[in-house]
Amino acid sequence: MLSRHLARSVDDTVLNASLQVKDMIESRAQDNGRKRHIAVDAMGLLLAVVITAASVQDRDAARPLLWNLHRTSRRIRLIWADAVYTGKLAAWAATMKMTLQIVPRRNPHAFEVLPRRWVVERTFAWISKHRRTVRDYERLPASHEAMILWAMIPVNCTILRRSVLELVGFGGCLNRAFKKVFVAS
C-alpha cells in the first residue's frame, strides 16, 4: 500500500514537472531570442555589454552600447565597427568625442577575416564557453548581462596576468617569489 502511494506521488510529480517543462518550451517557442552587443578593447577584454531583443537592429542597439562605454571608459576615442553600423551613429558618437571607424569588407560575397573583428569574435567564443551563457536561461536581459560579466572575470584575470608578466619581463621562467605573487591560482 505504501509503495503504491509513493509510486503514485512520484508519477504525479513527474507529470506536473513535464507539464511545467512543456509550458516553458512553448513559451520559449514564442520568444524570438536575444542579441548580445559587446565592446571590447584591443586585447579582447570586455568593456561594455548590452542585451537586446533579436528584433532590434544592430545600429539601433549600438547607441546604448556606446553610451555605456562612454559612461564607464571616458578615455576611449577610437571605435572600430562593422559595416552594419554606418549611418547616423558616427555623428552621434562624435558628440561624445568618439571616432567611429568602419572596417570595410573588400569582397562582400566572400568570407574574409576582417581586421580587429576577430578580437570580438574571440571574446564571444570565450563568453560561450560558460554554461549559463551558451543558452538563454535567464528571463531578464539584465540577468543575462550579469552572467556575461560574471563569465568574463576569469578570462580578464588571465589576460591581465599574462600582460603584467610580459610587462615585468618574465616570460616562461619565473622564480618562486614571483610565481607566488603573480601566478597565484
Same domain membership, residue 132 and residue 103: yes
179 is a domain residue? no
177 is a domain residue? no
Distance (Å, rounded) from C-alpha 130 to C-alpha 3? 42
129 is a domain residue? yes
Higher pLDDT, 162 or 179: 162
What SS3 state is found at 12? helix
76-102 b/e (C-beta count within 10 Å ≥ 16 → b): beebbbbeebeeebbeebeeeebebeb
Mean predicted confidence (pLDDT) in 12-16: 42
180 is a domain residue? no
The number of distinct structural domains making up the chain is: 2
Distance (Å, rounded) from C-alpha 79 to C-alpha 70? 11
pLDDT at 29: 44
105-147 residue pLDDT tens: 778 787 777 777 888 888 888 888 888 777 777 788 888 888 8
pLDDT at 50: 92
176 is a domain residue? no
Show Cβ contacts of residue 35 under 8 Å, excluding neighbours closer than 6 positions. 51, 52, 53, 54, 56, 58, 61
pLDDT at 70: 92
Same domain membership, residue 19 and residue 41: no
Distance (Å, rounded) from C-alpha 45 to C-alpha 155? 8
DSSP 83: G
Same domain membership, residue 17 and residue 61: no
pLDDT at 65: 92
pLDDT at 59: 85
Domain ranges, residue 19: 1-30
DSSP 99: E
Mean predicted confidence (pLDDT) in 15-32: 49
Same domain membership, residue 102 and residue 137: yes
182 is a domain residue? no
pLDDT at 170: 59
Q: What string of DSSP letters covers 14-63? A: HHHHHHHHHHHHHHHHH---EEEEEEE-TT--EEEEEEEETTS-HHHHHH
113 is a domain residue? yes
Where does the pLDDT of residue 166 fall: very low under 50, low under 70, confident under 90, or very high at 90 and above?
confident
